[in-house]
Amino acid sequence: MKQLFKKWNQLSLVMQIFIGLIIGIILAVSVPQVAKPLVLFGSLFVGALKAIAPILVLFLVMSAIAQHKKGRQTNMQSIIILYLLGTFFAGAAAVIVSFLFPVNITLTKGADDLAAPGGVVEVLKTLLMNVVDNPVKAIYNANYVGILAWAIVLGVALKSAEDTTKTMLANLSDAVSKMVSWVIKLAPLGIMGLVIESITTNGIDSLLSYGKLLAVLIGCMLFVALVVNPIIVYLNIRQNPYPLVLTCLKESGITAFFTRSSAANIPVNMKLCEKLGLDKDTYTVSIPLGATVNMAGAAVTISVLTLAAVHTLNIQVDIPTAILLSVLSTVCAAGASGVAGGSLLLIPVACSLFGISNDVAMQVVGVGFIIGVLQDSFETAINSSTDVLFTAAAEFRKRRKEGKKITISKAS
């Protein structure tokens, strides 16, 4: 048993997760009733990550800013620009793909009890109100916009504190990070439980009738991940982007796919940044920020489902309106984390651009919930993996300009 445990620990986390995934599928398909109690492992894993992630973000960002030396470059401006460009081009790619492969959908009820924001102004207002949320309430509700805002303010306020205070903050940050690493070790069990829950609860029957919509949605996300993002990275590092792209998808995207939470994947991304040898002062701020505003997958979801409604209703779309949709999906995607229900509830805002009534738009949201098992998984995988991807691309671009050699370390 001891030897078996030792061999298990020698496997990479991704391989352990893959084994957990296979076991989960086998159990869910062959003995679903026996496997159902194992769903608890998935709930405990995601619950633990979601519980610790807000505290981790608070202390990591606060400590990083408090200990930042004046005059030291963090490269945050370049990262934020990449976040915005990545989200915009993802939305634009979704618009183009939706025109090339138009999809008609069967509108459905099922989202009548949900309240969508009334427009972009309301989305931005919600985002701003989350910034000034009570800090304790922000942590309790996992409001990462509010947590980031207060962490930055506290970090700036503590820049003039005694070195002993800064050391204490660093120690607390390290302690919380260690706690997170303990939770991450349970990922194989957690993923097994999540897979069992997904198969036994939803099955695949409900997805078959929306096969074409799913094909366009997932195909577009894969196009963004494997074509659009590599082009953006190449323009920054001027060398083969795929080792970095595939490493981020493998190490970050896989866990995000199953946890379906960018916030819960923050610890995984932090660890990957460390393995890639990135500047800690930068990624301790950029990763939590990316989990809040870097939403390429959300932009794809909003654009594809909105245009599916447009095609279903035979509404003609001109090029200026299509461009405007790309911009609107970028703004909505950035605000998605501050709106209950995530990206799906931002669809009515985009639908309003084409004069589609809120009643019809909410039926489209209902379709979104039906395909949500796969839609949300792929969306989160792209959202979260690009946080590391663009953080690394910005830093490697800086190193290239300084004449330093760029070595992309392959995470194990």
Predicted confidence at residue 235, as pLDDT, reads: 93
Mean pLDDT of the chain: 80
How far apart CA 100 and CA 212 sit, in angstroms, is: 13
If one compares 21 and 395, the residue with the highest pLDDT of the two is 395
Predicted confidence at residue 317, as pLDDT, reads: 77
The whole-model pTM stands at 0.76
Q: What is the pLDDT of residues 400-410, one digit of tens each?
A: 887 777 766 55
Nearest Cα neighbor of 328 from 82, 80, 87, 79 is 87
Q: What is the pLDDT of residues 196-228, one digit of tens each?
A: 876 776 565 555 557 888 889 999 999 999 999
Q: Could you give the dihedral angle defined by the CA atoms of residues 18, 240, 238 and 93, in that order, rounded to the nearest 10 degrees?
A: -60
DSSP state of 68: P
Predicted confidence at residue 68, as pLDDT, reads: 67
Predicted confidence at residue 331, as pLDDT, reads: 78
* Contact between residue 85 and residue 204 where contact means Cβ atoms under 8 Å apart: no
Q: How confident is the model at residue 230 (pLDDT cuts 50, 70, 90)?
A: very high
Predicted confidence at residue 411, as pLDDT, reads: 47
* Least confident residue range of 145-159, 211-225, 234-248, 336-350: 336-350
Q: What is the pLDDT of residues 71-104, one digit of tens each?
A: 556 678 889 899 989 999 998 999 999 888 888 8
Q: Give the mean model confidence (pLDDT) for residues 316-334.
A: 80
How far apart CA 381 and CA 29 sit, in angstroms, is: 25
Q: How confident is the model at residue 107 (pLDDT cuts 50, 70, 90)?
A: low
Exposure string for 306-322, b = 16+ CB within 10 A, e = fewer: bbbbbbbeeeebeeeeb
Give me the phi and psi of 100, to 5 degrees please. -70, -35
If one compares 263 and 170, the residue with the highest pLDDT of the two is 170
Cβ-in-10-Å burial (0-12, 13-18, 19+) of 112 comes to exposed
Report percent pLDDT > 70 for the chain.
86
**Confidence check: pLDDT of 13 > 80:** no
